[in-house]
Amino acid sequence: MSGVARWNDLAPRLISAAFMVLLGGIGLWVGGIYFAIGVWILAGLMIWELARMIAPTDNSGAVRLGLLSFAALALAWVLPSLLLFPVLVSASLVGANQMPDKKGNFLIFASATLFACHAMVLLRESAGLTSILWVIVIVVTSDVMGYFAGRTLGGPKFWPAISPKKTWSGTIAGWIGAAIVGLLFGLSSGVGANLVVISILVAFAGQMGDIWESAIKRQTGIKDSSNLIPGHGGVLDRFDAMLGAALLAGLLWVLGILPGLT
């Protein structure tokens, strides 16, 4: 790959990223139902993309599943926490029953997506703005450092059978970036350096979310989940790492392991 071709997607990536940062920043700052609705919309789009990847001939069914996912998350917002699991899994089961050959793939990934999106809302509302910003900054920093390190340094592939573009240099650079983020947030909040290890684990969970989506795309022979975001592909392509990171961070918060950040 020539030097110019290696960076030819950088401009649209930066423009799209700036737009997403603007919208996301407004939603994060306002919080409440406005942030929740934004997350639910993203969840619906991701489920729509997932359904189209697994069953590409049924676009109308994919649209219905996206709307159902939005409704399930909205319902989970107002129902007692004990009903959270059955509501979100039931929405995924409806979609899985419409997938002739890949019921398990859809059920597991769709459920993980819905729980991760609910975790994002939970972290914003219960853990606070700083905690959700910490997760987001970890994912963004890990992705950016991994992107530039992988493109610049290259080297051995991390998991070539599933994601041929990802390198060990980019993966490790992402961990280093997460450690720096954890140290900065830990020192500024009084939590201390203990947040460094947790930050690396959250970054790794994000990388696994990215790898998981790559595996599905390779199975289905699809390059991008959609073309909704110029330079990034689909919503799922952009937020797959956020799903993994939010799942782990949300679980740590529920278990009382994640320290409070203020």
Query: Who contacts 41 (Cβ-Cβ below 8 Å, separation ≥6)?
Result: 70
Query: Who contacts 186 (Cβ-Cβ below 8 Å, separation ≥6)?
Result: 192, 193, 194, 195, 196
Report the pLDDT value the prediction gives residue 56, as an integer from 0 to 100.
73
Cα–Cα distance for residue pair 252/81, rounded to 1 Å: 16
Cα–Cα distance for residue pair 51/45, rounded to 1 Å: 10
In a domain, 33, yes or no: yes
In a domain, 115, yes or no: yes
In a domain, 8, yes or no: yes
Cα–Cα distance for residue pair 209/166, rounded to 1 Å: 13
In a domain, 226, yes or no: yes
In a domain, 171, yes or no: yes
Cα–Cα distance for residue pair 180/167, rounded to 1 Å: 20
In a domain, 260, yes or no: no
In a domain, 261, yes or no: no
Report the pLDDT value the prediction gives residue 81, as an integer from 0 to 100.
83
User: Which residue segment(s) compose the domain that 124 sits in?
Assistant: 3-254
In a domain, 262, yes or no: no
Q: What sections of the chain are H helices per DSSP?
A: 3-6, 10-30, 32-54, 59-78, 84-96, 103-122, 129-153, 168-189, 194-220, 235-254
Cα–Cα distance for residue pair 93/65, rounded to 1 Å: 10
Q: How many domains does the chain have?
A: 1
Beta-ladder partners of 233: 229
Question: Do the bridges between strand 157-159 and strand 163-167 make them parallel or antiparallel, or are there none, so unpaired?
Answer: antiparallel
C-alpha 99 chain-centroid distance: 23
| Spans of the chain, pLDDT less than 70 | 1-13, 57, 164, 230-232, 262
